[in-house]
Homo-oligomer: A and B are copies of this chain.
Amino acid sequence: MIRLQEAKVACSNCNMRELCMPVGLSDDEMTQVERLISNRRKTARGEHLYQAGDDFVSLFAVRTGFFKTSVASEDGREQVTGFLMAGEILGMDGIVSDRHACDAVALEDSEVCVMPFDKLEELSAHVSSLQRHVHKIMSREIVRDQGVMLLLGSMRAEERLAAFLLNLTQRLQARGLSPSNMVLRMTREEIGSYLGLKLETVSRGFSRFVNEGVLEVQQRQVRVLDQQALKSIANPTVCA
């Protein structure tokens, strides 16, 4: 009889493998990694995976679903710092002080693989490709953040929006999904927070793109009609 517990999906079979797992592991090493992350956790839409101030114990790999991360200033302003989809890693903000520095909230019912960080460190001391992988994941996050700074510091509203949409299409494509047809998991307000804009500005941007024939938008359903146009908007001088 099948257990009522969720059926285990091993990393070696996981279709997100190439996104969150180092390549070139031996069978033995793979087994060790699978033991490390044998634990899973479901997070319902709207629930926190963790909050600022929580003890840091584990990193999380998104298996299914969609998350946002956000930081709040002391006076209550919230800044969305990222949107995360399957195969991406959450929680690295907590390493430095053993407490999480931001909130992570599921924007739809989601499931993550739990990776206890002390175990991850221990194993990566013996498996150099895993060690390298951990470093690359953290470095990737640093580079991504620099890109967001560039966006927030030097782009105008419609450029930001175009860059945001392009980024989404690329990440969907990397997962074998349609890059032109997507359902946004977040509200206009959350997009605005991420992009340093008000929700009305985001909405107007979408409307403008629709009028220009770049997008079709129906609520959160977005279809990219002219990816090239998006690129030229996001990066005017190069693509004009």
Contact = CB atoms under 8 A, between A and B. Distances in A.
Interface of A: 71, 73-79, 81, 92-97, 101-102, 121-122, 124-126, 128, 131-132, 134-143, 145-150, 152-155, 193-196, 235-238
Contact of A150 (B73, B139, B155): B73
Chain A interface mostly? helix
A97 B94 CA distance: 24
Given A93-B143, A141-B142, A135 B121 contact: yes
Given A125-B125, A236-B75, A94 B139 contact: yes
Contacts of A76: 237
Greatest chain B CB density within 10 A among A75, A102, A150, A235 is at: A150
A146 B132 CA distance: 24
Contacts of A150: 71, 73, 77, 79, 81
A148 B71 CA distance: 11
Q: Count copies of this chain in the complex.
A: 2
B96 A196 contact: no
A27 to B, nearest CB: 21
A101 B146 contact: yes
- A-B residue pairs, 9 tightest by C-beta: A75-B237, A95-B139, A145-B145, A153-B196, A152-B152, A96-B139, A79-B150, A138-B138, A96-B140
A206 B152 CA distance: 22
Given A73-B150, A74-B238, A96-B142, 20 more contacts: A73-B154, A73-B155, A75-B235, A75-B236, A75-B238, A77-B150, A77-B155, A79-B149, A81-B146, A96-B140, A97-B143, A101-B146, A121-B135, A124-B125, A125-B131, A145-B145, A145-B146, A145-B149, A149-B149, A154-B196
Contacts of A138: 92, 95, 135, 138-139, 142
